[in-house]
Amino acid sequence: MATYKNFDIAVYFSTRCLASITTLEAFEKEFSLLEKHLNISKVYLETHRDDMDMSADLLRSVKGFFENKGIKVSGGITSTLFKSQENKPLIDETGIFGCGGTVMGENAKALPSPQKGVKKAWTTFCFTDQASRQKLKEISEFTASIFDEFILDDFYFTTCTCESCIKEKGDRSWEQFRLDLMAEVSKSLVIDPAKKVNPKCNVIIKYPNWIEAYQETGYNTEIEPLLFDEIYTGTETRDTNHSIQHLPRYGSYSLMRWMENVKPGKNGGGWIDPGQGIRNLAYYLEQAYLTYFAKGRELMLFCYSWIVDTIFVPPLGFELEKLDEVLGETGNPVGIPVYEPHHAHGEDHLYDYLGMAGLAFEPQPSFPETDSLIMLTANSARDERVLEKMKAHLIKGADVCITSGFLEAMQGKGIEEFTSARYTDKKAVSRDYMISGMGSVFFGDYYGRNDVLFPVVSYSNNGADCLIAARKDDNNFALLLRNHYANGTVYTLTIPDDYADFYKYPVEALTTIRQYLMSSLGVYIEGVDNVGIFMYDNETFIVESFLDNDTIIKLHVAGGAKKLIDVRSGQELTPLLRKESESIFEVPLKPVFYKVFKLV
């Protein structure tokens, strides 16, 4: 069986995918359409979803079919049920997934015609309901009796607010109640029952792509990864213009990296689907690229019936062959360490927007132990000792970039020790920008595409350096400040009210932000927004365009003697400019595509 050198491919079969198999002979012909284009090394067969439980006979039959092909087989569970709502509209009455929801995609095909006045909807389990708890325990035991490994799909959460949950919650917040509840459920209803039936069973929890809401729905990334044998990451992207899950595409990379730092070496892979790719095939392929740029070990394709005999598979297979040829040249991912503690929220997905504006990030659940610049956002304020840790970081000579959200969260709590910047309740609107020049004079005027709304961050004249400002008639407002503290430097980055407004900044302002914040990484981009850079510890890096049109960027590389090699073509790029401090290279980029480079 052919395999890839640098990663694996897996396919997920939901209960409805399995139920659609009529005969193994017919299925063999259909599955061969995938095998023609993809080197599949593993499949996951689901035992339960919604109103469907698979029989042991069917599961063992299909399991044997794949094992005879040399393909590994694991199980899967989706902890959802169907609920009838008599004489009620199909709406949720106790939380988005508490006791109702909209059935989409493959599930829609399986909905029976309701009786008059009766509607059915899928729902996540209520984990304080004894019948539901018993059901989950039985599903776990059954799955472990068939498979030596299984994964929990990312409906393993709760937003239920029924009377039982309210009673069990008591005086706790919903967040704390659900975090406690799901940790208990994981051990007592999933892991322990499964391992009692099959002690060698490897149990995996898949986390969804919406990290900002984990704590509110019970995804306990602090405790659950200690309980489960492995974790898995949702790297599927969503359309920020049309989807309720307004998740920037860079999240397919950043979440994979954060999860790897949560449980190093035990982040099994990334899970994608064609949900957004229906309108643009390139976006579907991009999910795979970004998962593997982040060094995902396995790519899970959800699900069989959504991809078999579709336009998605042939180009995915073609591009994975090409990616496999070059990915082995890259080392371990590196970037600006950004502190994202467990259960944090505030400036949600901010580093994803900045990542698509040309900054490279390495999100971490613990305060970064490094001598280089780190970033602290409003999310970092979840750590009550963050200012103490920040002080130690600066004293040892390392730098910090704080956001205006972090400044606001820490104001009155000790941030005044480090900077003269103060968060105010004022706002400013501008599309005109200035960049610091000689002395106290700004150099040049630069113009963005549209007006941008900023919080006003005040500072003391001569108490801080204003490196970038938004200009108004007879006034200007700080967008990037610099203060020195002990042996380090504190940068304060003002964040627009709409994070996507970074893409409205002029090239000169974006380039200046990259230049200051990425100085320790040795490479930065000069060019437009929506171009990302992914960096590795062996002097390789990848640049990808998130744009829908061709563009040209310039790469600034520290040191005048460096050569830049295009890894795929083997071509050495000729520098536009070479001087003692840096070399500058011009790079054309195609829409939603990438190039891999190596410095020698």
The CATH number linked to 421 is: 3.40.50.880
Q: How far is CA 132 from the centre of its chain?
A: 31
Residue 339 and residue 372 in one domain: yes
> What is the band of 279 on the pLDDT scale with cuts at 50, 70, 90?
low
Q: Please count the residues of the chain.
A: 600
Q: Are 600 and 573 in contact (CB under 8 A)?
A: no
pTM for this prediction: 0.93
Q: Which of 279, 299, 328 is the last residue of a domain?
A: 328
Which residue's structure tokens are 């700004």?
442
Residue 266's alpha-carbon distances to 198, 257, 298, 311, 331, in angstroms, are: 20, 12, 11, 32, 18
500 CA to centre of own chain: 17
Give residue 84's pLDDT: 55
Task: Report residue 549 as tokens.
Answer: 């049109």
Number of helices (H) and strands (E), helices first, in the chain? Answer: 18, 30
pLDDT band (50, 70, 90) for residue 438: low
- The C-alpha atoms of residue 592 and residue 70 are separated, in whole angstroms, by 34
Q: How far apart are CA 275 and CA 294, in angstroms?
A: 21
Name the 3-class secondary structure at 14: coil
Tell me the residue range of the domain where 346 lies. Answer: 334-520
Start-to-end CA distance of the chain, whole Å, equals 36
Structure letter (DSSP) for residue 191:
I
Would 428 be classed as within a structural domain? yes
Instruction: Tell me if 79 sits within 8 A of 208, measured CB to CB.
Output: no
The pLDDT value given to residue 390: 98
In this structure, the answer to whether residues 469 and 500 fall within a common structural domain is yes
Mean pLDDT throughout 430-451?
86
387 and 345, same domain (yes or no): yes
Distance between CA atoms of residues 364 and 351, nearest Å = 12
- Lowest mean pLDDT, pick from 13-22, 39-48, 96-105: 96-105
Listed residues 520, 540, 575: the one ending a domain: 520
Strands of 540-545's sheet, edge to edge?
Answer: 333-334, 531-536, 540-545, 594-599, 564-566, 572-573
Residue 86 above 70 pLDDT?
no
Chain-centre distance of CA 465, in angstroms?
34
Question: What is residue 251's predicted lDDT score, i.e. its pLDDT?
Answer: 97
Beta strands in 473-581 (DSSP E): 475-485, 488-493, 523-526, 531-536, 540-545, 551-558, 564-566, 572-573, 577-578
Cα atoms in the 13 Å half-sphere on the side-chain side of 201: 26
Q: What is the mean pLDDT of residues 374-383?
A: 98
Structure tokens that stand for 524 in this block: 């930065």
Give the Cα separation of 578 and 556 in Å (integer). Answer: 10
Regarding whether 377 and 321 lie in a shared domain, the answer is no
Please tell me the predicted confidence (pLDDT) of residue 100: 32
**320, 444: one domain:** no
Q: Degrees (nearest 5) of the Cα angle 313, 316, 318?
A: 110
CA of residue 46 relative to chain centroid, distance:
24
The Cα angle at residue 436 between residues 430 and 437, in degrees rounded to 5:
135
Paired strand residues for 376: 339, 402
At residue 360's C-alpha, the angle toward residues 357 and 366, to 5°, is: 125
pLDDT > 90? residue 88: no
> Same structural domain for residues 297 and 351?
no
Category of 109 on φ-ψ map: left (φ > 0), alpha (ψ -120 to 50) or beta: alpha
- Tokens for 595, please give them: 């190039």
SS (H, E, C) 291-304: HHHCCCCEEEEECH
The span from the CA of 11 to the CA of 317, in Å, is: 13
Average pLDDT over residues 231-251: 89
Give the dihedral of Cα atoms 129, 132, 134, 135; nearest 10 deg. 180
Q: What is the DSSP letter of 53?
A: E
Considering the domain architecture, whether residues 315 and 368 belong to the same structural domain is answered as no
User: Tokens 């049109």 label which residue?
Assistant: 549
In a domain, 60, yes or no: no
Q: Is 306 within a domain?
A: yes
Domain match, 348 and 208 both: no
Q: Would you state the pLDDT for residue 244?
A: 80
Q: Which of 22-36, 115-129, 227-241 has the lowest mean pLDDT?
A: 115-129
Q: Is residue 398 part of a domain?
A: yes
pLDDT digits (tens, 9 = 90+) for 446-488: 999 999 999 999 999 988 999 999 999 999 999 999 999 999 9
CA distances from 460 to 403, 406, 429, 490 (A): 18, 19, 21, 14
Same domain, yes or no: 140 and 199: yes
- Residue 53 phi/psi, 5-degree rounding, is -115, 130
Same domain, 246 and 119: yes
pLDDT at 275: 82
Query: Strand ranges (DSSP E) for 252-335?
Result: 267-272, 298-302, 333-334
The more confident residue out of 96 and 366 is 366
The yes-or-no verdict on residue 324 having pLDDT over 50 is yes
CB atoms within 10 A of CB 437: 10
What pLDDT, on a 0 to 100 scale, did the predictor assign at position 278?
62
Which of 464, 494, 520 is the endpoint of a domain?
Answer: 520
pLDDT for 463: 87
pLDDT at residue 374, rounded to an integer = 98
Across 565-573, average pLDDT: 97
Structural domain contains residue 538? no
Residue 225 and residue 305 in one domain: yes
Please give the sequence-ordered ranges of beta strands (E in DSSP) within 273-370, or none if there are none: 298-302, 333-334, 336-339, 361-364
Q: CA 457 to CA 442: how far, in whole Å?
A: 18
Is 585 part of any domain? no
pLDDT category, 93, cuts 50, 70, 90? very low
Q: How many CB atoms lie within 10 A of CB 41?
A: 18
Peptide bond into 401 cis (omega under 30): no
Structural domain count, the chain: 2
Q: Are residue 352 and residue 297 in the same domain, yes or no?
A: no
The CATH number of residue 317's host domain is: 3.20.20.80
Q: What is the DSSP letter of 199?
A: T
Q: How far apart are CA 494 and CA 183, in angstroms?
A: 37
Q: How many CA atoms lie within 13 A of 549 on its CB side?
A: 3
Whether residue 401 lies inside any domain: the answer is yes
Strands 118-124 and 80-86: antiparallel
Q: What is the average per-residue pLDDT within 500-508?
A: 97
CB atoms < 10 A from the CB of 49, how many? 26
The mean pLDDT value for 503-520 works out to 97
* 464: nearest Cα among 481, 440, 479, 480: 481
Q: Is 354 domain-assigned? A: yes
Residues 337/366, Cβ–Cβ less than 8 Å: no
Whether the per-residue pLDDT at 108 is higher than 60: the answer is no
